[in-house]
Chain A
Amino acid sequence: QSALTQPPSASGSPGQSVTITCTGTSSDVGGYDYVSWYQQHPGKAPKLMIYQVSKRPSRVPDRFSGSKSGNTASLTVSGLQAEDEADYYCSSYAGSHNLLFGGGTKLTVL
């Protein structure tokens, strides 16, 4: 199965909002409500930001939110801060105990 599709880059100024998309198919993103998002700073391990499309672990700021429409999921970061600059990866359950990742999006805070 192919990886999920993410834009390679996104950017925004401090205080603004930015949305990153993750496009799959009806066999993965569109077929299950098990999309999650991970933040990765350079040289660090990924960190869970959103799971089950829109749920947020208590340790994650509420500036981060997730949604899904059809075969496309989205991560929105509101009130951008300098520390939000990182790579973001989406993941989706794809059935038959298979998990897919997106190619990653580099978020730049201008």
Chain B
Amino acid sequence: QVQLVESGGGVVQPGRSLRLSCEASGFAFWIQAMHWVRQAPGKGLEWVAVIWYDESNEYYGDSVKGRFTISRDNSKNTLYLQMNSLRVEDTAIYYCVKDGVNGGKDFDYWGQGTLVTVSS
């Protein structure tokens, strides 16, 4: 079965950096686009970024553009999110999400998430 396990969350000061990881199993990771989606405490969902299966393309939500970088290592079945210049408003649970059947237009399986808290 599909499993997505996020790690790397924690408490970090504003302006600092953090890298999240997501280890995937149970499906052909190397032919699937992957997303990061976040959810601030008690709030709704916000799409963060997507990366194509072959790293040929990556796209970002407006609120993280220029600060966050999505990447992947298909040899390790692992997805990453490098978060720089973190802000208090980046505090959220970050979910690793397998792309749906329509190529970057919807979401299939979700991991359990990792909590990132940005606070001084």
Contacts and interface: CB of A to CB of B under 8 A. Distances in A.
Interface of A: 1, 3, 32, 34, 36, 38, 44-48, 51-52, 89, 91, 93, 97-104
A36 B46 CA distance: 14
Given A89-B44, A97-B50, A100-B47, A46 B110 contact: yes
Interface stretch (B22-30, B67-75, B76-84, B94-102): B94-102
B45 A46 contact: yes
Nearest to A100: B47
B95 A46 contact: yes
A34 B110 contact: no
Nearest to B96: A45
Contacts of A1: 62
A98 B107 contact: no
A48 B112 CA distance: 14
B106 interface: yes
A89 B45 contact: yes
B105 A34 contact: yes
B44 A45 contact: no
10 contacts: A38-B45, A46-B45, A46-B110, A52-B101, A89-B45, A91-B45, A91-B106, A91-B107, A97-B104, A99-B105
Contacts of A48: 100, 106-109
A68 B116 CA distance: 36
A7 B45 CA distance: 15
Contacts of B14: none
Interface in B36-78: 44-47, 50, 57, 59, 61-62
A97 B109 CA distance: 19
Nearest to B95: A45
Given A38-B107, A45-B110, A103 B100 contact: no
A89 B39 CA distance: 12
Given A46-B95, A48-B109, A97-B104, 20 more contacts: A34-B105, A38-B107, A45-B95, A47-B110, A48-B106, A48-B108, A51-B100, A51-B101, A89-B44, A89-B45, A91-B107, A93-B102, A97-B57, A98-B59, A99-B47, A99-B106, A100-B47, A101-B45, A101-B46, A102-B44
